[in-house]
Amino acid sequence: MYRLFYNEKVTGDILYAVLNSEEKPSRIEKKGNVAAIYQGDELIGINFFEASKLARLPSAGILYAPKDELIDALNKAIAAVGLAPLAYTRNSGFHVAKIFALEEHPLDEKAQIVTLGLGEKKMTTVSWYANLAVGDFVVVALDGTILRDGSVFHQFVSRNIPNEVSLMDAKELGLPESQGAYHPTGLAEGADFFLGER
């Protein structure tokens, strides 16, 4: 999974492709308007300068679901400098889940153990959001998802409870802020929140 970031007002006409946000760069190789960023021999990012000349870019922020045409334009630029192509985005990492059960957390009176359905899969997590009810639809980040702040969600076990997904609020999805977990409408259980049909 990778993420594309573009914000002309903040950083100028540069599109950032973040391939591994958990590594710090050790060297940069710039060829023309493409800068390849490495940690050792691993390519961890690509910067595209004068990006608006490559393709029409959407509004500022993270591009969770870039169109194939944009990826084609970026791949043309990086092929010219000998880099491997970016894959088309078919999974944003953010999916719609249905709440199947809520249990009181045995060690934290403010938390709940949440059992969620994502199609045929059932997963659990812990949440402190107050606006949860059985039958609600919520948006979750799956294991390995690059989040809005550039960090990566990794599933973990805390106090013997598996946190297999992370519940998202509106701010974490780049939407107008509201209180508590975000409840999507018009998408089915298991659908990709950013790639799904609305």
- pLDDT attached to residue 166: 97
- Count of CB atoms situated within 10 Å of the CB of 184: 19
The domains found in the chain, sorted by start residue, are 3-79 (3.30.1940), 94-173 (2.40.50.140)
- pLDDT attached to residue 113: 96
CA distances from 193 to 5, 167, 184, 185 (A): 18, 13, 8, 10
State pTM to two decimals.
0.86
Phi first, then psi: what are they for 68, rounded to 5°? -55, -35
- pLDDT attached to residue 56: 87
pLDDT digits (tens, 9 = 90+) for 154-186: 999 988 899 999 999 999 998 888 889 999 999
- pLDDT attached to residue 196: 62
